[in-house]
Structure 1
Amino acid sequence: MQQMLRLPLYVVQSRPLGDVAAMRAKLHAHLRYMIDLEAAGVLFASGPYVDEAGGMDGAGMTILRAINLEAATAIARRDPMVVAGLRTVEVRRWLINEGVISLNVRFSQGSASLS
């Protein structure tokens, strides 16, 4: 067990507070914020929760790279949806210990897959 990765990341659970129409109005700003975090190397992964039919209720999960819980919380609270009072966030420290990730890039086909 000494070999386990023990990579610290921060999980942000977000839950909707406002109505869906108001959230749609802020969606572009929210996505721009997430893309900027991605470009800065802060965002590991992010996306909405969906039900079996593909429906979304505005809740989601984001995984951040940050120096500590306080920094991760500050990042999460700057999300335009949170600033507008449309979402609430809970941030927790998470250690990656087990799992596998595979990336398959086919240069000649211009494709990539993650599994």
Structure 2
Amino acid sequence: MKYFVVLLPMKDEEKSKAFRNDHLNYLEQKGKEGKIFAKGRFTDGTGGMVIYRASSFEEAEKLAKEDPYVVTGARGYEIHEWEMVSDAVLPN
């Protein structure tokens, strides 16, 4: 499994507020499927980030494109494969 950082820059703050629950529900579901390593908003209000666990860039892009924030145009997205280096004990 690979890790992909998906940046979700703010495009429309009002849409972001309107679709927040849909976005959070989507992330909750993907988390239950084991597809999310970490997630969170940027405290300066410029957007947020999700680190997906996926087998390929294409799978990570599909996950990003299905996020209600992206579907509705509330947020854009930018994907980077992340080669994590850490001494932390991580889930398999």
Which ranges of structure 2 fall in alignment gaps of 5 or more residues?
none
Cα RMSD, aligned residues only: 1.7
Alignment map for 1:1-115 (pairs within 5 Å): 8-18=2-12, 20-51=13-44, 57-100=45-88
- Runs of 4+ displaced beyond 6 Å: none
| Offset, 1:101 | 5.2
| Offset, 1:94 | 0.7
Q: Specify the SS of the correspondent of 2:19.
A: helix
Which ranges of structure 1 fall in alignment gaps of 5 or more residues?
1-6, 52-56, 103-115
> Using CA pairs below 8 Å that are at least 6 residues apart, which structure has the higher relative contact order?
2
8 Å CA contact retained: 2:3, 2:81: yes
- C-alpha distance in 2 between matches for 1:73 and 1:11: 10
8 Å CA contact retained: 1:30, 1:80: yes
TM-score, with normalisation over the residues of structure 2?
Answer: 0.88
How many residue pairs get matched?
A: 90
TM-score, with normalisation over the residues of structure 1?
Answer: 0.72
| Offset, 1:9 | 0.5
Q: What letter matches 2:16 in structure 1?
A: M
8 Å CA contact retained: 2:8, 2:47: yes
- C-alpha distance in 2 between matches for 1:23 and 1:45: 20
The percent identity for this pair of structures is: 30
Judging by fraction of residues, say which structure has more strand: 1
